[in-house]
Amino acid sequence: MYNDYVKKKQEELPSREEVKQEMLDYLDEKYGEEFECATIEYKSWSQSGMEQMEAYPKGSNPNYNFVLNRKTNEDGSATYEDGYIGYLMKEKYAELLEPIVKKYFPVSDVGIGFGKRYTYPESFTKEMSFEEFQEYAAKKHRVGVGVYIAAESEEEVSKQIQSLETELRDLLPIGDFSVTGYTEKAYQTYIADDFYNTKETGRSYTLKGMTFEYSEDWGEIDFNYQYESEE
């Protein structure tokens, strides 16, 4: 009897390939463009659960992606949440923050962004303004700024670091800031020339030749905050 029950439930459930295609179809329809799957994790078919996909726009670098969650409801329907708007907004943050970093460190490599596990309210669309997204991020989002430079010691650049941090704190209610120094040779080899092809693969830079690392974070996520469209 039990085996018959399990077999029946399995027959009612979509296959993994069907779930994967359904998730991609959801993104295609919501945003009006094509997406591809970088990775996907499936939950057990014997109970309700959640699938999680790392997706990216078709034709772009699969190493830079965002998360899409599919939650199965009791009635068998699915509820989705995704992070594509954050994926798009990273570029806006870069346009805002990179020129500020370059004022203090003209020769530097700058990484700006936030974790790809963030998801956003259903009402967030590609037409959303950067200013509106910033209001949401001020309550729910930590924005990271990583700076890589050639410097023999932290003391050598401490004034620039402190001035830059002050400016970033004024702009980012919830932030994460770091400066990593390298020898001149290491900076040229591993950062400027990107010896390990780090940017293309989306990995962290090597620590070879590192002379110091400074990091600070500030602000707290308001877990009780409700975006107006969610209320």
Confidence of residue 15 (pLDDT cuts 50, 70, 90): confident
Is 4's pLDDT higher than 80?
no
Domains of the chain and CATH, by start: 2-82 (3.10.450.570), 85-230 (no CATH)
Is 231's pLDDT higher than 60?
no
pLDDT digits (tens, 9 = 90+) for 131-162: 999 999 999 999 999 999 999 999 999 999 99
Three-state secondary-structure class, residue 73: coil
- Interatomic CA distance for residues 48 and 7, integer angstroms: 16
- Interatomic CA distance for residues 149 and 191, integer angstroms: 8
Percent of the chain with pLDDT over 70: 90
pLDDT digits (tens, 9 = 90+) for 206-218: 999 999 999 999 9
Three-state secondary-structure class, residue 157: helix
Instruction: Write out the two tokens for 78.
Output: 């699915």
Percent of the chain with pLDDT over 90: 79
Mean pLDDT on 31-41? 96
Mean pLDDT on 75-89? 93
pTM of structure: 0.89
Torsion (CA) 131, 133, 134, 135 in degrees, nearest 10: 90
CB 80 within 8 A of CB 69: yes
- pLDDT for the residue numbered 70: 94
- pLDDT for the residue numbered 1: 44
Confidence of residue 47 (pLDDT cuts 50, 70, 90): very low
Q: Which of 55, 49, 3, 60 is nearest to 28 (CA)?
A: 55
- In the block, tokens 């190493």 appear at 63
- pLDDT for the residue numbered 134: 96
Residue-averaged pLDDT of the chain: 91
- pLDDT for the residue numbered 229: 56
